[in-house]
Structure 1
Amino acid sequence: MDIFLGIMIPFIGTTLGAACVFFLKDRLHPAIQKILLGFASGVMVAASVWSLIIPAINLSEGMGKLSFLPAAVGILLGMGFLLFLDSHVPHQHLDSEEAEGPESHWRKSTMMVLAVTLHNLPEGMAVGVVLAGLLSGESGITTASAITLALGIAIQNFPEGAIISMPLKSEGGVSRKKAFLMGTLSGAVEPVGAALTILLAGVFLPILPYLLAFAAGAMLYVVVEELIPEASEGAHSNLATTGFAAGFILMMILDVALG
């Protein structure tokens, strides 16, 4: 039950956020959007450090002074994997008029959903690999720390669900119901990615430190490549930085106090 709950919590966060399209105006105020993007960045960076990179190093302590190696290799592989997907999957970010990746004739709304889907994939992987460590019983990962990571990602998924569904209504020209469904669909990759990662880690348990760091690298790529640039667009302000600090501190508190 704990495993199923851990897999589904982030998806529930996205779904609840996407439901904002039924209750709020067609578009979030730019200042609010900056704060939320900064907040999501802070949560993801803190989760990468406390829930993924530090456990990866701790699991490798038998390597002595080289205990950093699996974490370093995993981070590079994770960032490289997202860079590959970013270059080979057509997608379009919010507030951007140009699509990225291979040339495609897909609708803008479809490519906006794909952009968020690429963003959500590493989050699902992160939850999956931590749950796999919990299942192994040999990693030192506790039920509380696994659920804390899932909860932290769900918290930052809530504003992201709103950020994707509301522009789909206002800019994509779709109905509120369809915008909600597409926003929810963008988060469906998380439980799928988590389940697949659990299966993969079950087969390759000896490389669990690499998988933890791989998920961290993928999440950090999303923060640096997408979230921070989007939060910094437009007139200069400290709103995104304030949101980042709030998200980082909240996730740190959750991980240390509950993990």
Structure 2
Amino acid sequence: MVELWSLGFVFLAGLITAFATGLGALPFFFVSEISDRWNVALWGIASGIMLSASVFGLVLEALGEYVHVSLGGVALDPVPQRQLLLLGLGLAAGVALVYVAHDVIEAAEVDPQQYAEADFKKLVLILGVLTVHSFPEGVAVGVSFADLGIEGGTQIFGFVVPLLAIFMTVAISIHNVPEGVAISIPLRSMGVPNWKLVWWSVFSSLPQPIGAVIAFYFVRVAREFLPAGFGFAAGAMIYLVLTEFIPEAREVGKSLPGEGRRELIGGLVAGIAVMVPLAFI
């Protein structure tokens, strides 16, 4: 039985990541637009954060006690085949979800203007598209809370919270900021008011707390499948980075010197440099 308080705690963590998307709209209260150079760098930072969270957070956690991290590097003991199989199946399922989501999003052809002029039917369509797009991030948050309330974490408001959960919540929140920027740019060009930019940015990530609760519930009632849960979240996020974030950055950077490669690589390095130390605290 999963306690109601734990579901509420995980939902709140997912809600924090959704609210973080709204931060991407705040710059438009002070400037009319964000330069392509900064946009590419932000996508690079988000990519570095997601890759770090996936590899050094979720994948290493899936391998559990078979991974030994020290100043000298990472050592890996022989891992049981079942655990590797679950991890591999999870990775493949995560990639498959994002692949299918790509087809759904492209088939839906949601115009950003619908955000500002949406009737009920359009809202249902938009929410459906956003669900398949942002659900993997929510799953990542949810599975990272698998050990919530179990000894070995850190105390927050009287609850024992796993360090991995803190790491993933911070990582997804930071990653959501450039997504908020990307959502706000076309809306701003259409004359959508600033406060609506914040609302639609947050709205785009509302599936995340829902995905977090669903994933958390699953790994709590079926803990033997926890490696698959970690793999699913990692596979989805890595595939998102490779098929959405980096291509988006390269598209935006076409007008920059060197097609924005310096800004993209710099952002990637910065994102990894910020998140990797947190993974080994």
Residue equivalent to 1:211: 229
Residue equivalent to 1:96: none
Deviation at 1:197, TM superposition (A): 1.3
| Mapping 1:48-63, distance limit 5 Å | 48-58=54-64
Structure 1 residue 255 corresponds to structure 2 residue 243: no
| Mapping 1:56-205, distance limit 5 Å | 56-58=62-64, 64=80, 67-88=83-104, 90=105, 100-102=106-108, 104=109, 106-110=110-114, 118-131=132-145, 133-135=146-148, 137=150, 143-170=162-189, 172-205=190-223
Unmatched runs of 5 consecutive residues or more in structure 2: 67-76, 117-125, 155-160
What is the distance in 1 between the residues matched to 2:115 and 2:65? 39
What is the distance in 2 between the residues matched to 1:227 and 1:155? 14
Structure exhibiting the larger radius of gyration computed from Cα positions: 2
Structure 1 residue 239 corresponds to structure 2 residue 269: no
Deviation at 1:58, TM superposition (A): 2.1
Structure 1 residue 224 corresponds to structure 2 residue 248: no
Deviation at 1:15, TM superposition (A): 2.1
Residue equivalent to 2:26: 19
What is the distance in 1 between the residues matched to 2:94 and 2:177? 24
Deviation at 1:50, TM superposition (A): 1.4
Residue equivalent to 2:69: none
8 Å contact from structure 1 (residues 72, 213) kept in 2: yes
Choose 219-228 or 107-116, whichever is displaced more: 107-116
What is the distance in 2 between the residues matched to 1:78 and 1:136? 27
8 Å contact from structure 1 (residues 41, 227) kept in 2: yes
Counterpart of 2:107 in 1: which secondary structure?
Answer: coil
Counterpart of 1:187 in 2: which secondary structure?
Answer: coil
Instruction: Pick closer, same or farther for the CA change 1:120–1:18 going to 2, 3 Å.
Output: farther
What is the distance in 1 between the residues matched to 2:169 and 2:35? 28
Give the partner amino acid of 1:54: L
What is the distance in 2 between the residues matched to 1:199 and 1:62? 29
For residue 46 of structure 1, the aligned residue among 46, 52, 55 is 52
8 Å contact from structure 2 (residues 10, 212) kept in 1: no
Instruction: Give me the TM-score of the superposition, normalised by structure 2.
Output: 0.76
Give the partner amino acid of 1:244: L
8 Å contact from structure 1 (residues 57, 70) kept in 2: no
Deviation at 1:150, TM superposition (A): 0.4
Identity fraction in percent:
33
8 Å contact from structure 1 (residues 37, 243) kept in 2: yes
Instruction: Pick closer, same or farther for the CA change 1:214–1:199 going to 2, 3 Å.
Output: same
The number of aligned residues is 242
Deviation at 1:31, TM superposition (A): 0.6
Residue equivalent to 2:122: none
What is the distance in 2 between the residues matched to 1:120 and 1:240? 22
Counterpart of 2:80 in 1: which secondary structure?
Answer: helix
What per-residue deviation string (whole Å, max 9, x for no partner) do you get for residues 70-101 of structure 1?
A: 2222111100011112112x3xxxxxxxxx22
Counterpart of 1:240 in 2: which secondary structure?
Answer: helix
Give the partner amino acid of 2:222: F
Give the partner amino acid of 1:109: Q
Deviation at 1:10, TM superposition (A): 1.4
Counterpart of 1:68 in 2: which secondary structure?
Answer: helix
Instruction: Pick closer, same or farther for the CA change 1:217–1:140 going to 2, 3 Å.
Output: farther
Instruction: Pick closer, same or farther for the CA change 1:28–1:212 going to 2, 3 Å.
Output: same
Instruction: Pick closer, same or farther for the CA change 1:24–1:189 going to 2, 3 Å.
Output: farther
Deviation at 1:143, TM superposition (A): 2.1
Give the partner amino acid of 1:79: V
8 Å contact from structure 2 (residues 23, 198) kept in 1: no
RMSD: 2.9
Deviation at 1:127, TM superposition (A): 0.4
What is the distance in 1 between the residues matched to 2:194 and 2:79? 54
